[in-house]
Structure 1
Amino acid sequence: MILIKRLFVLIGIFFLGFLPPLTAQNSVSFEEAKSFYPYAKVLKNDSIIWGYLSVPENWEKEDTNTIKIGVTVLKSRENKEDVPAVVFIQGGPGASGVSNIWSWRLHPLRKTHDIVLFDVRGTGFSKPRLCPNLGEEFLKILAKNQSEVEDEKQKVNAALACKQELIRKGIDTDAYHSGSVAKDLHALMSNLGYKGWSVYGVSYGTYMAQVYASIYPEDVTSLVLDSSIADIKAYYTENTSNYMNSLNKVFDACKNDPNCNQQYPNLEETYYEVINEMENNPITVPVSKNFIEGESFTFNSEDFKVAIQQALYNKQLVEVIPLLIHQFKDKNKDALGNLVTAFSSLLMMDYGVYYCVSCNETLPNNELSNFELNVSKYDKLHGGLAFYKSDFKVCDKWNINKPDSLFKNFDLDPLKEENFPVLIFSGEYDPITPDTNGEKVAERFNTAHNIPGSTYGHVPGFTGIGKSVATSFIKNPNQKPDVMAFKKVVKMEIVKDITVNKGVAKMGNSLNEMNLIFLAPLVIAISVMLVFILVYSFKIFRKKYNNLSDNLVRGLSILSSTLGLICLIGLVGALLKVTEHNYFILAFGLPQNYAYLFTLSIVFLVLVILTALVFLIRIKKISNRSIVFSVIFSNILLATYMIYWGIFPF
């Protein structure tokens, strides 16, 4: 009997030796949830699945936490069963994928495909989020007037405080990297019932997409890499040359445009002059307390360089770079204050995830000495971008006492053996994943097509042309795409001849917010003015008033009301027209062909004051004073709004 028991034990040991170890993979599941945007009416009647994918925090350990990945599935418009799917991988690392629902909801691909959006572990709607307020801390640091060294010191301290908080909460910071995301995606595909899908990665998401495709090639039917990372080992080290190569294209474009060169002569030299000037004389600008508690932001030379670098991401911002450089040169504080919004949006990522991923797999593969060697090629730049250089110091401290074996170095060479088709977008002015990356990445694959995004910056695949090319490719991946598609796009037009006015941006923001409580008095005032013009113009024409005071004050009221409405309608029309072309212009003012509106606004203000004085002086001789007072008050109210916005050019 004892021998039989021992035999069964030996058989059990033998077979168990060949069984896969028990892991937390058994806890993987998908559970539907309520809308992540419950107040968005446009999404309520749409065919959308919201939910959470539960996965192990560390796929390599049996005893690990369970985390939740926020997922949104935009169902195909065809509403059929078993339609193909596209999964979107956002960049950063640390940006939300689900928040891109507004770009994907009406994407032409949705006609035939389900669109799967997910928040990379630790970001957006995923649970837990890793240090979601760290970006705000960085903005406060950037806002201060202090040295690069002090900025770096405070940034390191903020990042390490984030890590300590994560450790206190029991979060495994070593489990956040592209390999884990790849396993999350594989589990998500299975739990949503897809047998394969097209993978669409942007920016850092292109690296995650390549890691995923190398680990689970059978999941991928086609691959789209928009603004791709070619070599993770050069992602930081070539940061400065990538930036300057893109910026030099702007300098050349302006030099070769006679009108631009006339208005912004020696643009390249001016750029370096501003750097020199701002090293000694930074510019402090007023900002809304919604962005900075102290209601001020100090631009130093490092902030200036980052501002120009960020402008290279977007075609419309590229077009205003010469104007932007000159606004820094002229120290236009009102216009530069509007840039803080751009800084705040840059820092809206989950920086806890950013540093977990960067310190696990990116910075360990980049050498600070190589970064500095690259910087040394640009003496006049006075150093590279400190915003990125400081990440080396952060990760040095973040990874103290961490064994080298935990650093991730994914092998992408096997991708050459795979046969799934690949589409690559690369933007001409992209400063972070330059257009030269396109051809380099294409060489990694067996079947790849590089689409140069002429005149565009980062992520050209989300332009009208890019969406069209991506849709055609994903629908028919074996058909050669139109590699010259972006040659048909409207060429870059550098913005010139702008009348600078601090109030345009504020007026545009007020109207765009559609705050009824704020705008209701203005609407009432406009109505009163319009009715007064119609009624009393007719009465004066019919000579209903014999008294000079009545005719004078009513005539002035009609004139001021008419001019005020012309100014308001003209400004709103100008805002709408400029928005169609390049809404970033509004941060500075309006094109010179609208300059007359600012002159008319001054005339309107003078007439309002004159009308009010006449009314007060001749008040006893005026009939129906309450009616006249109401229209004068309405004019004063309109003028008050214009003063609040800052429209009057004084």
Structure 2
Amino acid sequence: MFKPIILCLSLVTAIPSTALAQATPSRSAFESGPCAVEIAPDEKIECGMLSVPENRAIADSRLIRLPVMIFRSRSSQPVADPVMFLTGGPGNSALTGQRSGRSNPFLDQRDQVLLEPRGARLSTPALDCPEIITAKREIAAGRLRAEAADDGLVAAASTCRARLVGAGADLNGYNSAEAADDIEDLRVALGYPQLNLYALSYGTRLALTVARRHPGSVKAMVLDSALPPEVGYDETATANTWRALNAVFDGCAVDPACAARWPNPRGDFETLVSRADSERLPFRLTDPSIHVRGAQVVQGVAAALQDPRRIPLIPRAVGDALAGRYEELAAWIGGAQDPASFSWGLRLSVWCGEEMPFENADRVRAQTAPVNGLGGIDPRAASPEMCDAWGVASAASSANEPVVSDTPTLILAGEFDPSTPPQWGRRLLANMPKAFFVLMPGLSHGASFNACGGRMAFDFINDPTAPPTLTCVSKLAGADFSASAAEQR
């Protein structure tokens, strides 16, 4: 559920006139126009706007506008099927930060397309909720805790909902099914026979929804850090975090150097979290308004779990802090203070419509209990109370069922991913006979955003009938926990 550094893109030719002449369903239409983001001045990048109904279930639903970037192949004879990247979230922007494509290998053979998700930052309307981001910032800094934190998020969601609905938003129109139909409408408008979908995190759930609703339109998929629709994300958020932490602690235990320096990394972690909750530890952060308690310790470590460079250093950072040497972990805690800049209205509409109705509310509530040993952090995408305040209709039960598809698919998972565990990607194989699963050692969420993962994604989209070549995977060093035995510099 985190935003990657997505591949840079470029464009060299115009949209074919045949594409604009092709009718699109549901009153949707594409129109060429200026780019929604700043682009490299020396590259030919072509943009436009897709207009689609806000809620296709309502005949006279208003049209909303979604920015598009279309990047043509450098080839004089490109293949007909482009690649489309689907970002995570839900609530991330797909276009923000995209301005150049000189190093994008996909453009050697095919076009690449980006579509801003409905409700995201650059769409009209954008379902932004600064009230929720403000509350999340207070929670991250330890200034809003426990029941007060839950109440603050519910109040923020209520305020944001009232403002968006007052401005005319139909919040029931923002879900994965509508977003999948947006992608199909854009494909038809641009005249592409099929698409290749390259997706991250929540984007994998959206890609699976496209494959379910429009199976003939998808040639191949690359799913990085898979989020299948049938899993109960909020029910298992704490267990997923502990799975990744235990992988770290066990990795240290079997490394002779790490084990000699830190013989009980799991116990060190539990003791430090408990101690931070019982006394004010002198972390001496740059911002003195941050109250470091157990939750902030866990936040800092959880942020490191997302970074393959820091994963092997977790035993040292925790052990040093327990011994009164706070510098390394203090930097991690300070760096974990800015909450994700999701368009929270989009996030809640998707989650509260198609995920929360199918989860066990008591299990979801239990995820933040201090007894879980994580300082009471809230690793959920939303709470039942926030969804009650958001008040969108429940999706059909099919939205929460496994996707059955014969679309060729490459599934990549990171060994230490604390958000979408490898088991979730592997389970897709049961209903996808043409899928391949690859576990990436030493990596975390966003397992393809490295030279090896990128090469496998590139090769698979070029030939989705061939099993992935695992040579580079076999050469990945993995997490070297001996780094935790070295003194901090």
Give the shorter-chain TM-score range.
0.7 to 0.9
Aligned partner (choices 365, 380, 389) of residue 388 of structure 1:
380
Closer/same/farther in 2, CA of residues 351 and 78 from structure 1, 3 Å limit: same
- Give the C-alpha shift of residue 102 in structure 1: 7.0
Aligned partner (choices 149, 154, 172) of residue 170 of structure 2:
172
- Give the C-alpha shift of residue 373 in structure 1: 7.0
1:97 aligns with 2:97: no
Aligned partner (choices 349, 356, 374) of residue 356 of structure 1:
349
Secondary structure at the counterpart of residue 478 of structure 2: coil
Alpha carbons 2:28, 2:50 under 8 Å: kept: no
Q: What's 2:184 paired with?
A: 186
Q: Aligned equivalents of 2:431 and 2:376: distance in 1?
A: 29
Q: What's 1:324 paired with?
A: 317
1:253 aligns with 2:245: no
Structure 2 counterparts to residues 576-587 of structure 1, below 5 A: none
Q: Aligned equivalents of 1:279 and 1:66: distance in 2?
A: 50
Q: What's 1:457 paired with?
A: 444
Q: What's 2:138 paired with?
A: 140
Q: What's 1:310 paired with?
A: 303
1:75 aligns with 2:75: no
Alpha carbons 1:145, 1:300 under 8 Å: kept: no
Q: Aligned equivalents of 2:38 and 2:333: distance in 1?
A: 27
Instruction: Give the CA RMSD over aligned residues.
Output: 2.9
Q: Aligned equivalents of 1:428 and 1:498: distance in 2?
A: 23
Closer/same/farther in 2, CA of residues 95 and 498 from structure 1, 3 Å limit: farther
Secondary structure at the counterpart of residue 151 of structure 1: helix
Q: What's 2:51 paired with?
A: 54
Q: Aligned equivalents of 2:454 and 2:113: distance in 1?
A: 16
Q: Aligned equivalents of 1:265 and 1:336: distance in 2?
A: 19
Alpha carbons 1:360, 1:408 under 8 Å: kept: no
Deviates more, 1:88-97 or 1:483-492: 483-492
Closer/same/farther in 2, CA of residues 183 and 33 from structure 1, 3 Å limit: same
- Give the C-alpha shift of residue 24 in structure 1: 8.8
Question: Which amino acid in 2 is paired with 1:301?
Answer: G
1:407 aligns with 2:395: yes
Q: What's 1:205 paired with?
A: 203
Aligned partner (choices 40, 45, 50) of residue 42 of structure 2:
45
Aligned residues: 464
Closer/same/farther in 2, CA of residues 242 and 63 from structure 1, 3 Å limit: same
Q: What's 1:196 paired with?
A: 194
Q: Aligned equivalents of 2:100 and 2:148: distance in 1?
A: 39
Structure 2 counterparts to residues 210-609 of structure 1, below 5 A: 210-283=208-281, 296-326=289-319, 328-330=321-323, 335-336=328-329, 338-339=331-332, 342-344=335-337, 346-371=339-364, 379=371, 381=373, 385-388=377-380, 391-399=383-391, 406-411=394-399, 415-416=403-404, 418-483=405-470, 485-494=472-481, 495-496=483-484, 590=489
Closer/same/farther in 2, CA of residues 499 and 258 from structure 1, 3 Å limit: closer
Q: Given the two structures, how large is their TM-score scaled by the length of structure 2? A: 0.86
Q: Deviations over 1:70-121 (max 9, x none)?
A: 2222222225466430011111111122236379762322211211122211
Structure (1 or 2) with the greater helix fraction: 1
Q: Deviations over 1:261-313 (max 9, x none)?
A: 2333311001000111121224586667xxxxx76322221232233233222
Alpha carbons 1:123, 1:350 under 8 Å: kept: yes
Secondary structure at the counterpart of residue 438 of structure 2: strand
Secondary structure at the counterpart of residue 219 of structure 2: strand
Alpha carbons 2:265, 2:315 under 8 Å: kept: yes
Q: Aligned equivalents of 1:73 and 1:319: distance in 2?
A: 39
Closer/same/farther in 2, CA of residues 380 and 55 from structure 1, 3 Å limit: closer
- Give the C-alpha shift of residue 431 in structure 1: 1.1
Q: Given the two structures, how large is their TM-score scaled by the length of structure 1? A: 0.66
- Give the C-alpha shift of residue 123 in structure 1: 1.2
Question: Which amino acid in 2 is paired with 1:441?
Answer: L
- Give the C-alpha shift of residue 472 in structure 1: 0.8
Q: Aligned equivalents of 1:393 and 1:105: distance in 2?
A: 46
1:119 aligns with 2:126: no
1:128 aligns with 2:120: no
Q: Aligned equivalents of 1:410 and 1:349: distance in 2?
A: 26
Gaps of 5+ in 2: 1-23
Alpha carbons 1:203, 1:433 under 8 Å: kept: yes
Q: Report % sequence identity.
A: 25
Q: Aligned equivalents of 1:425 and 1:496: distance in 2?
A: 27
Secondary structure at the counterpart of residue 478 of structure 1: coil
- Give the C-alpha shift of residue 360 in structure 1: 1.2
Q: What's 2:26 paired with?
A: 25
Gaps of 5+ in 1: 1-22, 289-293, 501-589, 591-650
> Quick one: higher RCO (CA 8 Å, sep 6+), 1 or 2?
2
Question: Which amino acid in 2 is paired with 1:300?
Answer: R
- Give the C-alpha shift of residue 333 in structure 1: 6.0
- Give the C-alpha shift of residue 392 in structure 1: 2.5
Q: What's 2:5 paired with?
A: none
Q: Aligned equivalents of 2:100 and 2:438: distance in 1?
A: 20
Closer/same/farther in 2, CA of residues 440 and 382 from structure 1, 3 Å limit: same
